[in-house]
Structure 1
Amino acid sequence: MLGSPATAQAAKQKDSYVKSIELCNGAGHASLESRIEGCTALIGAGQDMTSALPIAYNNRGNAYAARGDYDRAIEDFDQSIKLNRTYTKPYNNRGVAYLRKGNYDLAIEAFGEAIKLNPRYGEAFANRAEAHLKKQEYDRAAQDYDEAIRLDPNLEAAWNGRCWSRAVLGELQNALDDCNKALQGGSNNAATYDSRGLVYLKLGQFGAAVADYSSALRIDPSLASALYGRGLAKRKMGNQADSDADVSAARTIRAGIDDDFVRYGVR
């Protein structure tokens, strides 16, 4: 026997609600637009105010952030927090959105709120460290990376971040250990080779610096810091022509790169 029309309609609504949950959670590698649509449908349904809605706003915020729409993302994270002030993820995610917008003070504040709610939130410590790096607060960045690594040694980005912080601060052997740890863990990215290149440059191991900077540039040919650092290392090795080419290319990509390296302790 067929069910009544009311029963069939209820079943259809339930299936639609379940599908929206799956999309909002990013199931099946759903596209950003599908995730946003799924979360919007859940929000519009208005069911389960205490649990589903804060998650839906947070997830939609993540999708907006991944799309580069940081203002909308922050609005959703704000709403998620308003609905559940003990839910830590939107605090951290709001910090990431502010970080990507270049609002570093607001990012640090948001990460601090996440850490206050959950002092064992290693990712929030790593993210706050990145914001401190952007403000050139290398001591504070290193301290936050220390805590991030203590809480979650598998955070590969934290090892590279601490390597970079320590390299700038002049803690070169410790920095080298951190970069090696990141690379041993499979962190085959331009930033890590760039960081270790700076360590070798400051240690006076110019051949090793050129090799690491070249590895970084194979991954990201437009990385200005790797071009400039390689140019300085080549100059120290007496290869003036190649040095000038690298330095000139770096200056074209990033104005003020010379001042950056003075701040890093390299001339």
Structure 2
Amino acid sequence: MKPRAGSVGGGGLPVLCILLLLAAPAGAQDPKQKSNYLRNIELCSGLDHAPADARIGACTELIDAGQDMTPAGLAIAYNNRGNAYAAKQDYDRAIGDFDRSIELNPTYAKPFNNRGVVYLRKHEYDRATDAFDQAIRLNPNYGEAFANRAGAYLKKNDYARAVQDYDQAIRLEPKLDGVWNGRCWSRAILGALQEALQDCNKALQAGEANAATYDSRGLIYLKTGDFGAAIDDYSAALRIDPKLASALYGRGLAKLKRGDKAGGNVDIAAAKAIQGSVGDDFTRYGVQ
């Protein structure tokens, strides 16, 4: 299963609200200059799903005109440029911008969350959870930060704390991408199989018919001994992601337990070729 990798949040404010935080540049009385200025705000805010390079360029222009912006507005511009750098996997520049955003507005929760996501992607899990802690302290109703911190706890194999954070994320934002499957996966590993099954079914009903959700439910069926259903779900996951090692390995185990030694060994060998440690993962999940 591929745990939730973390979702970088946007500026957190609509464009019209951001305008209230920005002072019109002294030289923007000319209609053309004013139009360019407003367009930079829109692009920097990610309006119309602008490409990362366009967002970076627009945010940079706003930052370079920093004397014409309030500190809160400038913090948003740095945060948004950090998001754009993160989208390009330029993580060091992203962290630098999130750091600057926080310096300008230490009560702004978004850059703490977004910095945590970048640390999560860099596999620096302790730094990630620290950043999410700070975001949640600033905004206890920040569902996305709870979900992202749950993803970090998954990476640290702390499944009980992941479930607690998914509980909060679901309470606050039940439609947030990946939260039902994330809790399903965590509960499945912990052995709360009926609750996990309910979560996975909820995820599928909500439109999360992705490889990770089928992979999670496959683990539940593997643990409950419903090997035919496990094979079906692992096969569904592999139709979406043919290189998903956990689904290959799980399907191989299910086949072996049904007496299909040849088919099971083929799947397990294929899984180990992709991820050599996958067998150790399943041992940790309580399945051998």
TM range (shorter): over 0.9
Contact residue 43 and residue 53 of structure 1 kept, 8 A: yes
What's the counterpart of residue 187 of structure 1?
A: 208
- The number of aligned residues is 262
Distance (whole Å) between structure 2 residues aligned to residue 89 and residue 7 of structure 1? 30
Distance (whole Å) between structure 2 residues aligned to residue 156 and residue 23 of structure 1? 24
Contact residue 122 and residue 147 of structure 1 kept, 8 A: yes
What's the counterpart of residue 220 of structure 2?
A: 199
Within 5 Å, which residues of 2 pair with 1:45-64?
A: 45-46=65-66, 47-64=68-85
Larger relative contact order (CA 8 Å, sep ≥ 6): 2
Within 5 Å, which residues of 2 pair with 1:22-171?
A: 22-46=42-66, 47-171=68-192
Shift of 1:25: 1.3
Q: What one-letter code is carried by the residue in structure 1 that aligns with 2:33?
A: Q
What's the counterpart of residue 10 of structure 2?
A: none
1:18 aligned onto 2:63: no
Q: 2:287 is paired with a residue of what secondary structure? A: coil
Distance (whole Å) between structure 1 residues aligned to residue 272 and residue 279 of structure 2? 8
Q: Which has the larger radius of gyration?
A: 1
Distance (whole Å) between structure 2 residues aligned to residue 175 and residue 29 of structure 1? 35
Distance (whole Å) between structure 2 residues aligned to residue 7 and residue 234 of structure 1? 71
Distance (whole Å) between structure 1 residues aligned to residue 49 and residue 134 of structure 2? 30
Percent identical across equivalent pairs? 66
**CA displacement, residues 5-34 of structure 1 (integer Å, 9 cap, x when unaligned):** x99973332222112111111223211100
- Aligned CA RMSD, in angstroms, stands at 1.4
Distance (whole Å) between structure 2 residues aligned to residue 232 and residue 77 of structure 1? 44
Distance (whole Å) between structure 2 residues aligned to residue 216 and residue 186 of structure 1? 14
What's the counterpart of residue 3 of structure 1?
A: none
Q: 1:120 is paired with a residue of what secondary structure? A: coil
Q: 1:263 is paired with a residue of what secondary structure? A: helix
Contact residue 28 and residue 37 of structure 2 kept, 8 A: no
1:211 aligned onto 2:232: yes
**Unaligned regions of 5+ residues in structure 2, if any?**
1-25
User: Would you tell me which structure has more helix in proportion to its own residues?
Assistant: 1
